[in-house]
Amino acid sequence: MTMQNAKELARQLARDAEAVCRHYLSAGRREGRYWLVGDARNTPGRSLFVRLTGPASGKGAIGRWLDAASGEHGDLLDIIREASGLGTFRDVAEEARRFLGSPHSPVYPPAPGPYRPANAPRRLFAMAKPIAGTIVETYLRKRGITALHETTALRYHPSCYYQADGTSLRQADPAMIAAVTDLDGRITGIHRTWLDAAGDGKAAITTPRRAMGHLLGNGVRFGTAQDVMAAGEGIETVLSLRIALPMMPMAAALSAAHLAALILPPTLERLYVVHDNDPAGFKARDHLVALAHAAGIEALPLTPDLGDFNEDLCTNGTDGLRSVLRPQLAPEDVLRFLIHQQAMRLKLR
């Protein structure tokens, strides 16, 4: 099979991308603009994303896919090869032509209807209140995070229940509540960080951070991303970065695994991947960079000098953080997001 023939077959398959996915990746399901499944061999899971909408070629092309767990990516011909266990391009082409020539039920987009997010996360977020003047603000400021603009995704709950580890007992402590949202701003989950009563640190419980709801692909968002954004793991890490880059939109994916699977805005042109300085952080960085590249998005890593950017901020101060970031930014973003930010940072305090 020539390269030209392969590209034409891939284009034909992409015209009916969801039908291809339903046939060869039947263990998955559609979620928004993507088909989600475990891998290209049709294993149940959610780490592989196939684009179901987009242009025929180029950035964000329909039918392109990425496995966030392995970094594998390709087109729908690759899906047919892996899912069918075929070894040669000739066999893959024959199978693709057989599928294209066989009758299969057309796939129509679902009828629009009311969106019903998970009730528990939305209720909990509604019960909480803004962080200004609360121990959440105290907690963040004690970690060096003083720029708290565009933090409506964060709220304070004075008595948030949790189940004590290894018991059936319910206890309550004050907590920072973070809304996890999709690209349309709809709450899909909640992240809770329990704090001690004075806001000096996290509560003295075994697991002070817990999440519920649909997190994969979504994040805690600060600002509205258009052409440029940064994405990192923890809330405190991302908010620390905003001390130096207060006008750059950012999202916290809440873990290295979720960072690797973050769904990116269709308008995005450049993504900064904010990772921790450890093996899990480097692995998540590589997967998200591959995901961005597969969607035609420029991806640049942001690496802390120490363990993470909050440690950089607390140890080296804002000027030290800026000096670490400056050589890692695209030149145009140095002008756009770093120049004159000292005055902006003082204004936002």
Of 71-85, 113-127, 135-149, 303-317, which gets the smallest average pLDDT?
Answer: 113-127
Backbone dihedral region of 268: left (phi > 0), alpha (psi from -120 to 50 degrees) or beta? beta
Q: Are residues 195 and 278 in the same domain?
A: no
Q: How confident is the model at residue 115 (pLDDT cuts 50, 70, 90)?
A: very low
Report whether 274 contacts 237 (CB < 8 A).
yes
Residue with the two structure tokens 């594998």: 72
Which residue, of 169, 184, 212, is where some domain finishes?
Answer: 212
Which of 319, 325, 320 has the alpha carbon at shortest distance from 342?
A: 319
Q: Which two tokens stand for residue 195?
A: 């704090």
Residues 227 and 349 in one domain: yes
Using alpha carbons only, what angle is made at residue 217 by residues 213 and 221, rounded to the nearest 5 degrees?
85
Residue at which a domain ends, from 212, 246, 271: 212
First to last CA, the chain: 62
Whether residues 228 and 312 share a domain: the answer is yes
- Cα 142 to Cα 208: distance, rounded to the nearest angstrom: 17
Single residue among 212, 238, 255 that ends a domain in this structure: 212
Residue 110 lies in a domain: no
pLDDT band at 340 (very low <50, low <70, confident <90, very high): low
Q: Which helix (H) or strand (E) holds 125?
A: helix 119-127
162 and 222, same domain (yes or no) = no
Distance between CA atoms of 63 and 349, rounded to whole angstroms? 45
Q: Is the pLDDT score of 6 beyond 90?
A: no
Same domain for 244 and 206? no
Residue 146 lies in a domain: yes
Residue in the structure block whose two tokens are 């708290």 = 148
What pLDDT does 334 receive? 92
Residue 114 lies in a domain: no
pLDDT band for position 297 (cuts 50, 70, 90): very high
At CA 222, angle to CA 186 and CA 137, rounded to 5?
A: 110
For residue 84, give both structure tokens.
Answer: 């069918």
Span 247-276, average pLDDT: 91
Residues 250 and 329 placed together within one structural domain of the fold: yes
In a domain, 106, yes or no: no
Residue with tokens 């101060």: 317
Q: Using DSSP, how many helices (H) and how many strands (E) does the chain show?
A: 12, 15
Assess whether pLDDT exceeds 80 at residue 223. yes
181 and 249, same domain (yes or no)? no
Position 20 scores a pLDDT of 94
Residue count of the chain, please give it. Answer: 349
Query: Whole domain around residue 327: which residue ranges?
Result: 216-349
Domain membership flag for residue 14: yes
Domains of the chain: total: 3
β-strand partners of 208: none
Q: Which of 127, 121, 41, 55 lies closest to 86, judged by CA?
A: 41
